[in-house]
Amino acid sequence: MLNLLGEGYRNSPTLRKLVDLLDASNVIVYVEPGICAFGHLGGCLLAYIEVAPSAERYLRVAITLRQDPRRILSVVAHELAEAPDVTTVDEMLRLFQRIGRAPACPPAVRACYETSAAVRTGLTVLNELSAAGVK
C-alpha cells in the first residue's frame, strides 16, 4: 500500500495536494485493507475517530484491494477529499448528512454518504493516473 500511495503521490497532483494538506494538519489517516458495505463499495471512511491527548485526530479508511491500482488510489483520494474537521463519529455523521447524499446502500449499513466533492476528486485522480500511464 505504501508503494502504491507513493506512486499516486508522484503521478497525481490532486492526490499529492490532499496528502500534503493532511500532512500539514493534525489528522493521521490509516489506510487499511477492508470490505465496505458488504463488498458494495470500493472503499470507505470508517465511522471511527480517535483524538489523542496531543490533539491529533486518527481516521481510518478501508479499501478493497481487489481493484485496479489506479482505482484503489482514486478511492483513497475520494475518501480523503472530505476529511472533516470533526472530533466524534456523531459529528462526522451529522456533517455527511448535511453535505452529502445517501447512495443506495445495503439495509444493514448504518449510514453511508457520498459528496459531490469526493466523487469529483476520485475521478480527477483516476484521470491523472491514467494520463501519467500508471497501470
User: CA-to-CA distance for 112 and 15, rounded, in angstroms?
Assistant: 23
User: CA-to-CA distance for 7 and 12, rounded, in angstroms?
Assistant: 8
pLDDT of residue 62: 92
Task: Indicate the domain borders of the chain.
Answer: 2-131
Phi, psi of 57 (to 5 degrees): -105, 135
For the chain, state the CA radius of gyration: 14
pLDDT of residue 123: 94
Q: Are 62 and 77 in contact (CB under 8 A)?
A: no
Exposed / middle / buried, residue 22 (Cβ in 10 Å: 0-12, 13-18, 19+): middle
- 113-124 residue pLDDT tens: 888 888 899 999
pLDDT of residue 110: 64
C-alpha cell at 101: 447524499
pLDDT of residue 14: 96
pLDDT of residue 126: 95
Determine the 3-state secondary structure of 36 from DSSP: strand
β-bridge pairing 43-51 and 27-33 = unpaired
Give the residue ranges of the chain where pLDDT is below 70: 83-84, 104-110
Amino acid 12 reads S
Read off the pTM.
0.84
41 CA to centre of own chain: 12
